[in-house]
Each structure stands twice: as structure tokens, then as C-alpha cells.
Copies of this chain bind each other. A is one copy, B any other.
């Protein structure tokens, strides 16, 4: 950092990047980071436990893999509908929000200030995520539990939506940095690698795997159906 840019950085009244960013109405977080992260992890754990109990009660013979898939989609449903829905709904006033979700978003925004500045892509993508992928994720969780024929086609749809939204989210971050020199993340590697890369990376790896396996399972089902149609035709 050049000496001339220090005073500006030192004067910032918030921890976000770039330091001269204007965040009207900004209120600093009061809840400590360990408490914030533990509350998020605790909620995820609770949702997983409930889903597991429901799944094994509704279908006692359900496989471990199916329970894990149901957990994944119910956790996604909660995050999309409630947490990302919170952001989509309150996008205009994020820097000033002080409830638990507001403070969680402000902690995450240390790795991406677009969540505090009403970035057009981020708001629109999160709106679709909350309104479409949220409720559909709950539905898929249920379809997995009851082993519905609609499970795999809907899995391909929602997982592809999650994957594509995340790819665009990453791509625009790096495009804006390389083309326009826009820095959205604080310089500490913890924020970049843990919050930005790892947290979002789950929605690249897991949906990618689900899309792949659902395509294979669907093709198998069509092979059986085509074979059955041919046998009836003979």
C-alpha cells in the first residue's frame, strides 16, 4: 500500500473494502464472531437433526445417502428462504441492520462488500434464490424422503440453478477486480479463502455432484422405460 493511501484507509469508519466505501447508516456489529458462527452452525446442526428424524420416521428403510441428500436440501431451503431471503428483502438497508441475520451478513460482507452496497446482480440473484430455489429445496427434501419419481428432475433443476448463480457470483467478483480494479474483499486471506471461497464453494461442489448423479440416474430410468416400451411393442 502506498504511503499516500494510508490516511484514507485509516479514516474509514467501517472495516469493509475499499476503505473509502460509503456505507450510509452503517452500525458496527456487537455480537462476537465466535457467537455469530456458532449460532449459524448450531442452526444448521438442528435442521439436519430434525430432517434425519423425520426422514427415518416417514421411511424407516431410507438409505444413509438419501438422508444426507434430504438434509442438504432442507438446509439449503432454510438458508435460501430465510437467510438469503432476509438479504433480498432488506437489501436497501443492510449496513444499518443489527439483528442476528443482519450481523451475520455484515460479518460475511467482510469478504464481499456487495452485500452492503445494493449491488444489482447480487440482489437479483439472491431474490431468485430466495423465491425459487428456497421453496423448491424444501420440496426436494420431501421428494427424497418419499422416493418420488419427481425427485431427480427437480434436483437437476434446482442444483443447476444454485451452481449457475454461484458461478456468476464468483465470475463477476474476479471480472470486476481484473477489468475495473474493484476490490470487494478485505485483504486478510481468512476472509477470502474461508468466507468467500469455501462457504460458496459448497454450492459449486455439492450441486455439481448432484446434477451429475441425477443425470446418470435419469438416463438409467429412461433406458428401463424404453426397454419396457419396446417389450410391450413386440
Chain A residues close to B by CB (< 8 Å): 92, 118, 120-121, 123-125, 127-128, 147-154, 156-157, 160-161, 164-165, 167-168, 171-172, 175-176, 179-180, 211, 214-215, 218-226, 228
Contacts and interface: CB of A to CB of B under 8 A. Distances in A.
Chain A binding surface, main DSSP class: helix
Given A154-B215, A157-B156, A211-B157, A171 B124 contact: yes
Contact of A220 (B127, B157, B225): B225
Nearest to A147: B226
A223 B175 CA distance: 45
A52 to B, nearest CB: 24
Number of copies of chain A assembled together:
2
A8 B206 CA distance: 52
Nearest to A149: B222
Nearest to A125: B168
A230 to B, nearest CB: 12
A123 B175 contact: yes
A125 B152 CA distance: 26
The 9 closest A-B pairs by CB, nearest first: A149-B222, A221-B225, A153-B218, A124-B171, A224-B225, A149-B219, A153-B215, A221-B221, A121-B121
A153 B219 contact: yes
A92 to B, nearest CB: 8
Contacts of A157: 156, 160, 211, 215
A124 B168 contact: yes
Given A123-B175, A222-B221, A223-B149, A128 B215 contact: no
Given A118-B179, A218-B218, 16 more contacts: A121-B168, A124-B168, A128-B164, A128-B167, A148-B219, A149-B218, A149-B221, A152-B153, A156-B157, A160-B161, A160-B164, A164-B164, A164-B165, A221-B225, A225-B225, A228-B228
